[in-house]
Structures are given as structure tokens and as C-alpha cells.
Structure 1
């Protein structure tokens, strides 16, 4: 079956640090080890959100940047980027074009179709339409997704929930979908020992007896930090040794820090700023519990990463979270936006440290190797060759 050295182009909107970009780089690395030629086409990174260029360079992955590939919609610029990508794909004679993220998914699929690429597929890392958008905007994005689905052979989703939601809006049909987890090198997500923990805790001014509730996400509205901070504010007095570790940066940094100051919680809430992907395992390791209050997420990468590090997770019961968090077994699923319930769960785990350890052990058993990058690469390889050979 696998009788050809495939030439593959992965296209993504931004090359900033983030789950989708990290997945694309991990995928490219794995496919290249199998003998494929893999290139990445991308728009530039957002400086404040970090960059994956250095990581790709270390892995000898060729990355081509198109400055006109940007997240926001501009019909003239978007028509131009379709033309630019069309010329690039045509000249490159790629066997497969695989797009990621919403904007690259639209312009990339159209460009690849125009270039008569044998196989075109798109991965949905998170839905481009959601419950918080104005109705007209949401309808427009649904129409765009329906239209774009006509230009590809396969739609890959990172959760079953995404597939069921897409189908409910009549985007493609069931046979057009495949579910492949957005994965990572699980070998990097193992406890490193007490000495490494002490170094990281010292770095952020965390005392030995502190219980750490952590959240890793860009500081933006849809990541829901304000619900986490508000829940902690209500119960902080019941947890004298508890601290919050807020990992990431973003446009809400000033507003969140102002909230902390107004509520006199500066000694209890730590903002780390931007952390590189390589540092994430050591940061998760010093957390006792990971909290996920995002309002919109396909399946946040940090959830399986935390579970593989044997950390329980408290999460809003939204999107794909329920697929890996089993309520009362390896964490808690709570009603979205319910800060009172969130606060209660924080206190309950704080008062029951033995449950934190039990949930952590159970979580790792439940996940197994679902999120192994080796498994993801194997599944993608099988899909690539199946689609390519079906075109002969």
C-alpha cells in the first residue's frame, strides 16, 4: 500500500505557539521520519504569541511564509493569497495538501483544488462558528465551511464532538469524516522528579506547602480566565495554602491583573507570562490540579497533557472535554460559567489531597496512548495512502 514517497504540504494560518501549530510541526516531523517530503506553508506568527519557527528549524522542516495569509477576512487580500498558494502548490507538484485552522482551510483547499492536487484534506482543530457569535456571522461561517468542504476529499476532526456538530449543520456527510486526535510526544509528559519540581516552584515563588491550581491558555476572552479568578476569589479564605498559576499571555493581561489587585490577591495568583512548548511539562508538573474554563475549544491540548502528567482536571463541560474527563473519576465536569460550582470543586480537592492523587492515576489509565504522536502519525499515514491510492 505504502509504495510511494509522498510529497505533502501542510498549510496553517499562523505559526505562533498553539495547539494546532504544535500538532502540525509534530506531524511533519513524524511523516518525514517515514520518508515523506513534508513542507509547511503558513502566515506569519503573532509576535506576542510566540513562534514555532525555531522548533521547525531544529527539526529541518522547510517552512514557507506567506505574509498575506492572515486570520481576518479581507476579500481582495484573500483572493490574492488563493492565487499565491495556487502557484506555489502547482509548482511544488504536491501529492497531498493538508490544511489546518479555519482561514488556511478555506484558501488552502480552494488553491489546492485549482492546482489539481490529487488529495486534499482539512483538519478541524476547533469549530470556526460558535454560540457566542452574532447570528448572521455564525450563519456566514457555517456557509463558508459547507462551501469549503466541497474542495476536499476528507475532513479530519480532533474530537467526535466536532464531527457530530459539523454533521448537525449538514457540513459534509458521515463518510467524509475521520477522527484523529491532536497529539504530542507523550514521552515528554512524565514526572521528572522532586529536584526538577523544586527548581520550577522556586522560579515562580511557590512555597513547598502551597497547593497549586493552574490554567494554561492565551489570556483572551474566550479562554474564560475571569471565571477561574472569580471562583477563587469567593473561596480563597477557605484555602489558605492555595495559589493560582496563570500560564500564558494575551490581550486580557492588564484587565486580569487589575482584577487580582482590586481583590487583594496579588500574593495568591501568579502570572508566568508566555511559556515555550518545551517548558510546559515542567510547569504542569508543579500544578496539583489543572483548571479549564475555556468557553470554546475543540479539545484543549493541555487537558491530555495534564492527564498524562497524572493531574486531575476541573473543566467546564463544553465541546470535547467530556471525551477524556470522566466526572468524579479523573476530574470534574461542571456547568459552564458556574463559578459557585467551580469554587466548590476547588475547595473539595484542596481538602482531599488523596483524591488528587487517585484522580491523577485513573486519568492516565483512561487515556492510554490515545494522544501519542506516534499513533497520530500512523493514522495520518494510513489515511494519506488510502486517499492517494484511491485516486489511481
Structure 2
């Protein structure tokens, strides 16, 4: 039986709002984990993939359902909203205002990797800050994000760093057959923002070196460009495969297969995929953006390169091929760091926040 870290007596007082659990992405992964570890989690999906009409109708239905529950279910005291930037934040505004009008405490759980850009380009910056201030608590994914939201006017005492959750590893008896090659894994949307094509360019520029030394598997939704065509046109099929969206048992198999994980992003919150790789004792090649440098230290549990630095990406991959002992040592260090992201610790912190908000003085 799956252990539950928040019981139904507490969970009955919390209503969760967020993207449909049938969608793909990091926020969905968090919500699925919450549903797994929270007893009788009460959840209303507010968004699903579709055209504008579908999205608008889905959000309207969610607003009506939320209003009904907050009006007639007196047990609910807290509304815990999972959101991001852009249209997601605009949608969150509606639910924040509704919850406050119904006299509920509100937690906004901010997952956006691109909130800085969203705020900088916004015409009504004060409106964004005012929305944040309406919340009784703002959950962010790292200390750097706490500092950022404080800098744009959110009360620092209301900002809480809560780690993303990652499940303990399901280790296979044999990770993979030793074939003398470096097993490199990329899991994330195939986009410029995530650095997927920077990774491929780094390999193309060093194709002669990598061709007989590397196996790369790439998984995720295609957002920018045609990755299959890129692989084919550059003659990379013999050692690079694109596997589409990876989830469930296939993800576990990939995590057991890989030696090193790579995600050379331009901006991030704190990617679940990095935490999952660390949970399986793999070093990580990534970039010093968002909350990543708070958990990945170059030379200790991975290597950080600047976004867009294709030479740095290639050099990092070469390092791990040529220094196999570093993979083992840094992988162990990665596992030690990620234990603070396992369910018992994360839900302990979340439970503490809920109980403070439910107390009479509500000192959050």
C-alpha cells in the first residue's frame, strides 16, 4: 500500500487547482506526485491542451466548479493553486480573486521558468505584484526565486521555498550492458529554451569523436524544429535516437540505462527531470539558470556550462567519457543532495505550512 504523507483530515481542508493531470510537463509531474502521496486529494483541473475555445470553456467550467465547492463546502479553508507565467498567471488571477472573495486562504505555487521575462515584458507590472500580494503564501522552487519575487514587491515573509518532489529510485539489478560507450540522456521538451538543439550542434561539431563513444537518447515533446530530420540530415542515426514523450516504466528504464543526464537550458525553475536523474545517482550537465546552481555544483555532482555554449557542452560530455570514475563519485554526491526532495521531507514542509495557515493567527 502506498504511504500517504498528508492524511484526509488535513487534505479535506485544501482544494488544489492546476493543469489537467493528463497533460505533459513538469507541473503535471508535481501534481501526479501530490495525488500519489496525499490521501483523498481534492483537485480541480483548470487547463488542458486544445484550441482557445477549448481552453476557455475548460477554465470557465473550472471556475464554476471551484465557486460551487468554496461556497457550499465549509470544510475547505485553503486553495492551493499551481501556476506559471503568461496565460497561466492570467488564469491564476481569476481563481485567486474568487478564493479570496469566498474568504479562503490562498497559496500560489509558482512553477514558471520564464517569469522574469514575463514580468519584464508586461504592460501592467503593478497588477502582477498586486495579484501576488493577494496570496497568503507564495511557494517557489528555489532560494533564487524567493529573492526574485521579493525584488518585485512580494512580502518576503510570505514566500516559501518548497522543493519539487521526486520519488525514490526504482533501481534495476543491471543498469545496462557495459559497451564502452557513454550513455547520455536528455528528457525535456525539444526546444531552443531547453537547449536541445544546442546539444545536437555540440555533437555535430564533434561528430568524429562522438560517433563510436556516445549513445544519446532524447525524449520530450517537439516544440521547435523537426528533431528526427535534424538527426537524419546530420548522419547521427547510429548513436542518437529520439523517443518522443517518455513516461511510466519507459522513464524508469531510461533512468536505469543512462550514465549522465543533460539539460542545457536557457531558463528554468528547478526541473523535475534533473532531480530524477540525481535520484538515480547520475551526474548532470546543465546551466546556471533558475534554481539549478543551488543543487548542481560543477566538479561535485555535475558540470554547469553557460546557455548556448556548444563547445562547453561537448567538453563536458567528453570529460565523462574519459573519466568514468567521476561518473560514479559525482553520481553518489548527486544522490546525497537530492534526498531533501524525497516525499517525506517535502510533504513534511508542506504540512507545516498548511497547519500554520490553518492556525488562528495564521503566521505564515
Category of TM-score, reference length = shorter chain: 0.7 to 0.9
Q: Secondary structure at the match of 2:267?
A: coil
Q: Secondary structure at the match of 2:138?
A: strand
Q: Where do 1:273-312 residues align within 5 Å? A: 273-312=244-283
**In the aligned structure 1, how far is the partner of 2:152 from the partner of 2:268?**
18
- 1:19 alignment counterpart: 26
**In the aligned structure 1, how far is the partner of 2:70 from the partner of 2:239?**
52
Q: Secondary structure at the match of 1:40?
A: strand
Please state if 1:346 is matched with 2:326. no
Match of 1:243 among 215, 234, 243: 215
Q: 1:86 to 1:127 in 2, by over 3 A?
A: farther
Q: Pairwise CA RMSD of aligned residues?
A: 2.8
Please state if 1:46 is matched with 2:49. yes
Q: 1:83 to 1:45 in 2, by over 3 A?
A: closer
TM-score by length of 1: 0.80
**In the aligned structure 2, how far is the partner of 1:178 from the partner of 1:69?**
34
CA shift for structure 1 position 365: 2.3
Segments of structure 1 that go 5 or more residues without pairing to the other structure are: 48-66, 199-206
**In the aligned structure 1, how far is the partner of 2:125 from the partner of 2:142?**
18
- 1:96 alignment counterpart: 78
8 Å Cα contact 1:7-1:38 kept in structure 2 = no
Q: Where do 1:233-382 residues align within 5 Å? A: 233-239=204-210, 240-252=212-224, 255-367=226-338, 369-382=339-352
8 Å Cα contact 2:133-2:155 kept in structure 1 = no
Q: 1:44 to 1:83 in 2, by over 3 A?
A: closer
TM-score by length of 2: 0.86
**In the aligned structure 2, how far is the partner of 1:263 from the partner of 1:42?**
42
Q: Secondary structure at the match of 2:80?
A: strand
8 Å Cα contact 1:129-1:142 kept in structure 2 = no
Match of 1:122 among 108, 124, 130: 108
Alpha-carbon displacement from aligned partner over 1:242-297 (angstroms, at most 9, x marks no partner):
02110122333x52222222211122210111122443232112111100112221
Q: Secondary structure at the match of 1:318?
A: coil
- 1:149 alignment counterpart: 132
8 Å Cα contact 1:213-1:289 kept in structure 2 = yes
Q: 1:210 to 1:337 in 2, by over 3 A?
A: same
Aligned residues: 346
CA shift for structure 1 position 347: 1.1
- 1:105 alignment counterpart: 92
Q: Where do 1:128-277 residues align within 5 Å? A: 128-131=114-117, 138-140=121-123, 142-170=125-153, 172-186=154-168, 189-194=169-174, 197=176, 208-239=179-210, 240-252=212-224, 255-277=226-248
Q: 1:41 to 1:141 in 2, by over 3 A?
A: farther
CA shift for structure 1 position 142: 4.5
Please state if 1:87 is matched with 2:68. yes
**In the aligned structure 2, how far is the partner of 1:44 from the partner of 1:105?**
11
Alpha-carbon displacement from aligned partner over 1:284-322 (angstroms, at most 9, x marks no partner):
121111001122210001112111211111101111111
8 Å Cα contact 1:316-1:337 kept in structure 2 = no
